[in-house]
Amino acid sequence: MGESVPPRRISVHQALGGGHVADVLLWKKWSGGVLLLTSTASSWFLFERAGYNLLSFVANVLLLLVVILFLWAKSASLLNRPLPPLPDMEISEASVVKAADALHAWINRVLSIARDIAIGRNWKLFLQVAFCLWLVSYIGSFFNFLTLVYIGKLFSSFSASSV
């Protein structure tokens, strides 16, 4: 009889993709982990505790950028200095078509899976999906979305650092 082959074990680093993201999540590159943890904590504080709105934040950052570039350009013309270096901000039609095709394929796949669940007459799969969605909805009602993302990031950081 054939011998059974033991399952191949892979490391957590390989399971996370084995690249820079895995290094950051597993705190192998601690500067990236600290930066990620600090940015998530500050964004959580900014949007949840301080009551700041994401749309207002983006608008204020863009306003600050426009004011800085405008003042830089005005001062450059007065002081005979070069203008601020700005790249041509154009998106090629090919990249838009490529992104649209990828989004189209992804949406069709999701709709196909949803159709199989809803019409497939597989009661067990339907009840599992319905229960999981209800559970996510119930847990989500206790937290705001950004708080939930922040808690998940904290748990992933602490569990990865203890490995």
SS (H, E, C) the chain: CCCCCCCCCCCHHHHCCCCHHHHHHCCCCHHHHHHHHHHHHHHHHHHHHCCCCHHHHHHHHHHHHHHHHHHHHHHHHHCCCCCCCCCCCCCCHHHHHHHHHHHHHHHHHHHHHHHHHHHCCCHHHHHHHHHHHHHHHHHHCCCCHHHHHHHHHHHHHHHHHHC
pTM for this model (two decimals) = 0.44
Domain ranges, ordered by start, for the chain? 13-51
The 10s digit of each residue's pLDDT in 28-54 is: 888 888 888 898 888 888 887 877 777
The 10s digit of each residue's pLDDT in 88-115 is: 778 899 999 999 999 999 999 988 888 8
